[in-house]
Amino acid sequence: MENGYVLSVTQLNDYVASLFQRDALLRGLSVRGEVSGFKRHSSGHIYFTLKDAGALVRCVMFRQDAIKCSIPISDGMELIADGHAALYARDGQYQFYVKAVRQAGEGELYRRFLMLKTRLQARGFFDEAHKKPLPELPRCIGIVTSQSGAAVRDIISITRRRFPGMNLLLCPVAVQGAGAAEEIAEGIRCMNRLKRADVLIVGRGGGSLEDLWAFNEECVAEAIYDSQIPVVSAVGHETDFSIADFVADLRAPTPSAAAELCVPEYDSLLSTLESMREALADAAHSCLMRQKMRINAIAQSSAFALPVHQLSNARHATQDAQRRLDAAAHGALSAASRSYGVLSSKLEALSPAHTLARGFALVQKENGEYCGKAETLSPHDVVRILFQDGDVQATVNAVSQTGKRD
């Protein structure tokens, strides 16, 4: 249907913004609702959403008004916000500009959050004694999150940058909406049954209290508490807290931070190993040098030198004794040789052959006995007379003894 008017987008937004400005009710009113998605910008402006059971409205409080605000705004609070409604013409975004806030009470979700937190704390779910340490060098990282969310992409990116060969095992689950809590709990139990991952990252990207509510359910808390594998909770942004954060063995402010906590840096490990190798080699060399110096010191000490000196003296004494023994033996042999020569000469002089050579003869009876005296012979005895050059047979005719001759 054409009415003759063709407006640009800017003209349309400016016209609608002027309608907001002309409406007396919208220029000054108070709105009651539960705070969700609270964020304080670096500029000092505050952004959040006010909601009730049927709708929500985005709110902004500029820096000059935020400075005067004495109420610490947080997700789950029920506030009464004073301000005006307007259209931000550039974005076509309708929002409520807050000048001041009053606390109207806690929101229903926040009350449920606190009640569950108190109950689980009483059951010991948050006790430090129950928390397990993360492995220093895991072989496989388990991930329980949505397969299409930014969280899994961040975890994969960080892991591949830090440790390219690290194994990743994804259990895809819904992270918000009906049945999400049950899927998350079952994903944690499934990872424990598989027993392939050494640590689990459970979480999702940021969002409002409603978006993160699946991680505030009791079934998820019980699954994390019962897990035999260490669990790192990475739910939302740094300022978001969930029940899963308190039960988990470690809380990471973001999924990316969870990957950095679980995955060691490969290059850093190599550098550490090289440093350890060099330190071990230096320690071994130093130990050998110390032992060498100790041995040298012992060798040069008086306690060690005394036996060496005594052994040297004993060696010299032995050598001297050997020389004296050799000299004594040589002298004894020379004397014995001389004595032998003398005795040999005497023996030679007394030998029968020598006697025979001087003209003497030996008389031997028939029975082989030598006759030294004439009285041992009788007439008619047959004797053998031995000369130097031979012998003769003779018969005794008569026996004449010295001094008894006829």
Domain range summary for the chain, segments of one domain joined by + = 9-106, 112-127+138-264, 266-309, 348-406
> What's the CATH fold of domain 112-127+138-264?
Rossmann fold (3.40.50)
Asked if 182 and 219 count as a contact pair (C-beta separation under 8 A), the reply is yes
Q: Which of 139, 135, 213, 136 is nearest to 174 (CA)?
A: 213
User: Which CATH architecture group holds 9-106?
Assistant: Beta Barrel (2.40)
Residue 343 is predicted with a pLDDT of 84
Residue 256 is predicted with a pLDDT of 94
Residue 403 is predicted with a pLDDT of 59
Name the pTM for this structure.
Answer: 0.54
Residue 246 is predicted with a pLDDT of 95
Residue 406 is predicted with a pLDDT of 45
Asked if 45 and 64 count as a contact pair (C-beta separation under 8 A), the reply is no
Give the largest Cα separation in the chain, rounded: 212
Per-residue pLDDT of the chain (406 residues; tens, 9 = 90+): 456 678 888 888 888 888 888 887 888 898 999 999 999 999 999 999 999 888 999 999 999 999 988 788 888 888 889 999 999 888 888 999 999 998 775 567 777 888 999 999 999 999 999 999 999 999 999 999 999 989 999 999 999 999 999 999 999 999 998 999 999 999 999 999 999 999 999 999 887 777 889 999 999 999 999 999 999 999 977 667 899 999 999 999 899 999 999 999 999 999 999 999 999 999 999 999 999 998 888 777 777 677 777 888 888 888 988 999 988 888 888 888 888 888 887 777 777 777 777 777 788 788 878 787 877 888 888 888 888 788 888 888 887 877 554 4
Residue 285 is predicted with a pLDDT of 92
Residue 232 is predicted with a pLDDT of 97
Q: In what order do the strands lie in the sheet with 382-386?
A: 362-365, 382-386, 391-395
Amino acid code (one letter) for 294: R
